[in-house]
Amino acid sequence: MGSRKTNLRLIEDSKYTKNTLSDVESKIDVAYSIRRLKPYEVVESRGSEQVLRGDKAFKLDWNESTISPSPKALNAIQSFVSGNGGLNWYPSLGSRSLADSLSEYTQLPAENILVTAGSDAALQLICDTYLDTNDEVVIPVPTYNHFLVFAQSRGVRLISIQPNDPFYADFDLLESTLSNRTRLVYLVSPNNPTGTLFTEEQIETLCTNYPSTLFVVDEAYFEFAQVTSINLVTRFRNLLVTRTFSKAFGLAGLRIGYLAAHESLITGLSKIYNPKSVSTLSQIGAEAALSDMPYLNAYLDEVSRSKTLLLGYFRGIGIDAFSTPANFIVVRLPQIEDTLSKLSAQSIYIRNRSNYPGLAECARMSVGTVSQTEELIEQLNRIF
């Protein structure tokens, strides 16, 4: 401790004081590929403070689970923390125990799975590993825009394709855009925000016809849709599937996800993958959540039934409402800004998506349990 005080005094007495440094003109630019990059639009999830205070609010703007995670997950985390389980130690490297549980869940070998700090981290890892300046990247839009930031940060040439109907996955249009120059294709399935799906057969066709193109299938909403391409990763060396625990499992606050891919792709990703990047609590919570399938399935059933209720309500009052296989719907609201203000006044928070291609006057809203939806409809009746 004495040496630390001495060092501090020497620094304070030196000529390199704060005032001296402030007179030095210095400008350090960001990397060339970042300079023209438009940041991901960060919009604070509305209603968070009300919910945390215990006030009544319908927080339906971020596609989160509307209920707490499995009690098994909560209990496992609480038990670890209360038992002084070792937060002073680094987490299990590579999350191997969780990878084994995911192997059982996905029916894939653990060697084909890489656990990441949320599926966003998986998407960024893919871009950092496999994209270079001027690589051609194809993305159907509208889509999950955070991936665009990851890709553009690598200096790629981005090709966006927009179907005439945003609620239709135009496979023919997609395939007609691809060539042997296409380095990567990003497909969200079900899509956020439109819910469009690509089938396993379609992904198989793409991987077969374009063996030098990397196909990234974002399955953040797989549990709701139950449509997946993950079974193809052991066959194809050009397919990556990403998933998350943030949606159906209700662990968004823990930032935990994973990707599945051929071992050759995993080897490439491992060159810059940080094996200690996933926290101990995230690993514990996710593994416990996977052990409680009855809790997950009950929630999935509630969301499915609620979706029918909510779609029926909006259509019954003459508002266009579009179903999705995920945990959200899309509604077209005339005078959308005014309507969103009225909803907010009733503590109902949904996401404006009217600035997305093909989604004029559209908003996206999460779907919760049946009882939550019934209460929501009572509140909506005061506005519509």
Q: Can the peptide bond before residue 69 be classed as cis, meaning omega within 30 degrees of 0?
A: no
Q: Which residues of the chain have pLDDT under 50?
A: 1, 3, 6, 8-17
User: Which residue blocks in 243-383 are alpha helix, DSSP H?
Assistant: 263-269, 280-290, 293-316, 336-345, 370-380
Q: Which fold has domain 71-291?
A: Aspartate Aminotransferase; domain 2 (3.40.640)
Burial of 381 (0-12, 13-18, 19+ CB in 10 A): exposed
What confidence score (pLDDT) does residue 145 get? 94
**Distance of CA 193 to CAs 149, 273, 323, Å?**
17, 29, 11
β-pairing, 182-188 vs 214-218, is: parallel
The whole-angstrom separation of Cα 285 and Cα 279 is 10
The whole-angstrom separation of Cα 344 and Cα 348 is 5
The whole-angstrom separation of Cα 269 and Cα 129 is 6
The whole-angstrom separation of Cα 57 and Cα 145 is 27
Structure tokens at 250: 């209700």
Is it true that 48-68+294-380 and 71-291 share their CATH fold? Answer: no
Q: Write phi, then psi, for 253 (nearest 5 degrees).
A: -70, -15
What confidence score (pLDDT) does residue 176 get? 97
φ/ψ bin of 183: left (φ > 0), alpha (ψ from -120 to 50), beta (otherwise): alpha
What confidence score (pLDDT) does residue 272 get? 98
Burial of 29 (0-12, 13-18, 19+ CB in 10 A): exposed
Q: Write phi, then psi, for 178 (nearest 5 degrees).
A: -85, 150
What confidence score (pLDDT) does residue 185 get? 98
The structural domains of the chain, with segments of one domain joined by +, span: 48-68+294-380, 71-291
Q: How long is the chain?
A: 384
- Residue with token string 């989604």: 359
The whole-angstrom separation of Cα 147 and Cα 153 is 10
What confidence score (pLDDT) does residue 48 get? 64
Q: Kindly compute the dihedral angle of the four CA atoms of residues 286, 291, 297, 302, in this order, to the nearest 10 degrees.
A: -60
Indicate the SS3 state at residue 366.
strand
Please tell me the pTM assigned to this model: 0.91
Q: 3.90.1150.10, 3.40.50.720, 2.60.320.10, 1.20.1740.10: which CATH number matches 48-68+294-380?
A: 3.90.1150.10
Q: 295-317: buried (b, 16+ CB within 10 Å) or exposed (e) per residue? A: bbeebeebbeebbeebbebbeee
What confidence score (pLDDT) does residue 45 get? 63
- Residue with token string 């559209």: 362
